[in-house]
Amino acid sequence: MKPELAAAAILLLSVHPAFAQAPICIPPEEPFVPADDAAFGEYADLVAEDFERYFSEVRPYIACLDAARQDAFARAQEISAQHEAFWKRADEMGLTEEVAPDADPE
């Protein structure tokens, strides 16, 4: 990982606790395929290696995205439980009408 990306990741993780839950998924660099035949012929072996590198890196990237998706769903469930507890408490305190988003402000 590049030092700049590592520093940015550490900063994000220290700023907000919700960011600490989801992994940071960085897609692999896509292979470059020369358009002209001369360059294609000259660099075909390097391009072939680059494709192999890409496919070996894309699998962990997709796994990271899957983990981030699962983390997002888990966090949404936690927030949903907090939302439910908020409305229950507001109702118990008689504040439901006052805090309802669609309540008339007057």
- C-alpha 41/C-alpha 48 separation (Å) is 11
- From the DSSP assignment, how many helices (H) and strands (E) are in the chain? 3, 0
Per-residue pLDDT of the chain (106 residues; tens, 9 = 90+): 455 555 555 555 544 555 456 789 999 999 999 999 999 999 999 999 999 999 999 999 999 999 999 999 999 999 999 999 999 999 999 998 888 887 555 5
> Can you give the pTM of this predicted structure?
0.60
Tokens coding 15: 């700023």
